[in-house]
Amino acid sequence: MKPRIALIAHDKKKDDMIALALEYRDFLAGCTLTATGTTGGRLINELGLEVTRMHSGPLGGDLQIGAHLVNGEIDCVIFLRDPMTPQPHEPDINALVRACDVHNIPCATNVASARLVLTRLSEIA
Ligand SMILES: O=C(CO)COP(=O)(O)O
């Protein structure tokens, strides 16, 4: 089965997400991708990836991804969080990261860890 990966980035991390996705574009093109609204829009428009978009994070997109994860539909989360900017939906962000821990799903919250996860996933996929 194709790896099912969720991609999420806060506003100040979106350029990093695009650069990361470009680096792994060939691998990601063979995965089933889900993203929050704005992140997904950029991945589609700028990299031509096929992405299922949820709502934007502040409107509940993190929670939608969390629900998919709890249902066993997500294998890995790349969540480039912005640790320097308060987010109005902080409880939703914490809920998603907690759901990853509850269900033992890899959750990379910075580019360095995302590279490790994506490299390993591409080796075993
Ligand atoms: O806020 C987010 C994650 O918490 C990301 O949402 P967007 O991709 O819609 O900007």
Residue range 67-91, pLDDT digits in tens? 999 999 999 999 999 999 999 999 9
Domain ranges of the chain: 4-83+91-124
Handedness of CA 100, 87, 43, 20 (dihedral sign): negative
Alpha helices by DSSP H, listed for 73-110, are 90-102
Nearest residue (by CA) to ligand 1, atom 6, is 57
How do residues 11-47 score in pLDDT, each as one tens digit?
999 999 999 999 999 999 999 999 999 999 999 999 9
Q: Which two tokens stand for residue 106?
A: 């890899």
Catalytic residues: 62
Pocket, ligand 1, Cβ cutoff 6 A: 8, 10, 36-39, 56-58, 61-62, 89, 93
CA of 43 to the centre of ligand 1 (A): 13
pLDDT of residue 30: 98
Q: Which atom of ligand 1 is nearest to the CA of 93?
A: 4
| Whether 59 contacts 26, CB under 8 Å | no
The pTM assigned to this predicted structure is 0.98
Q: What is the CA 106 to chain-centroid distance, rounded?
A: 11
Does the model's ipTM exceed the 0.95 cut? yes
Rounded to 5°, the CA angle 79-15-77 comes to 15
* Fold that domain 4-83+91-124 belongs to in CATH: Rossmann fold (3.40.50)
Nearest residue (by CA) to ligand 1, atom 1, is 57
Residues 10 and 29: their CA atoms lie apart, in Å, by 22
pLDDT of residue 125: 85
38 is in an annotated binding site: yes
Q: What is the CA 78 to chain-centroid distance, rounded?
A: 4
pLDDT of residue 112: 98
Residues 76 and 69: their CA atoms lie apart, in Å, by 9
